[in-house]
Amino acid sequence: MLDIETLCAADRDESPVKTVLTADQLAEGVGRLAIEAEAYYRGRPITILGVLTGSVVLVSDLIRRVNLPVRIGFVEASSYRGPSTAPGDLRLRVSPTPSIAGQHVLVVDDIFDTGHTMTALLAQLKELGPASLRSMVLLRKHGRKAVSMEPDHVGFEIPNEFVVGYGLDYQDGYRNLPYVAALEPGDIVDDNP
């Protein structure tokens, strides 16, 4: 597994790690997502529900860019992966504070891969009676979708590679990288499915 110095050197073209999105590109994408949300909600108050843990960086940047009255809550979703990058059992903990009954809810996640996480989350949240329910993801992985829904707002479409940084992890590491990088197949214990 790569160490943090090697990954941080990627921005300086000193390591084999491939930068997929730079910090500047991410800032531009988050600004775009904020403008999309403003255009859709047109001044209405919204409740942003971040999906822990991967969305924390996006949520913290987004809430400072979006010019709407905003409440913030979090829900938990984890598809256990371990050293492999293949998704495992999906576990959800959905009991958001503040309450979402009657609220315009925007669910925010780091990445839409197969789509199983977002689909299951939206189904459970719908039971809690929001006035409206939409989804936003920073990244959408090309050619991986295994569900019928599409996220309502997408920051970037990326190739089918396992990526880390800006909230995304590999074995709980790398979430604090300020950019998004693809792990090389040799850095991953098992092959991507």
Determine whether 13 is an active site residue.
Answer: no
Interacting residue with ligand IMP among 17, 26, 62, 111 (CB under 6 A): 111
- Binding to ligand IMP in span 115-154, by CB under 6 A: 115-117
- Please enumerate in sequence order all residues whose Cβ is within 8 A of that of 42, keeping only pairs 6 or more positions apart, or say none: none
- Please enumerate in sequence order all residues whose Cβ is within 8 A of that of 25, keeping only pairs 6 or more positions apart, or say none: 156
Q: Are the CB atoms for 142 and 112 separated by under 8 Å?
A: no
- Binding to Mg ion in span 79-98, by CB under 5 A: none
Instruction: State in angstroms the smallest separation of the CB of 172 from Mg ion.
Output: 12
- Binding to Mg ion in span 12-71, by CB under 5 A: 54
Q: Measured from the CB atom, is 26 or 68 closer to ligand IMP? A: 26
Q: Are the CB atoms for 58 and 74 separated by under 8 Å?
A: no
Interacting residue with ligand IMP among 19, 30, 75, 110 (CB under 6 A): 110
> What count of other Cβ atoms lies within 10 Å of the Cβ of residue 24?
9
Options 61, 109, 113, 152, the catalytic residue: 113
CA 67 – CA 107 distance, rounded (Å): 17
Tokens of 160: 């089918």
Interacting residue with ligand IMP among 109, 121, 154, 166 (CB under 6 A): 109
- Residues serving a catalytic function are 113
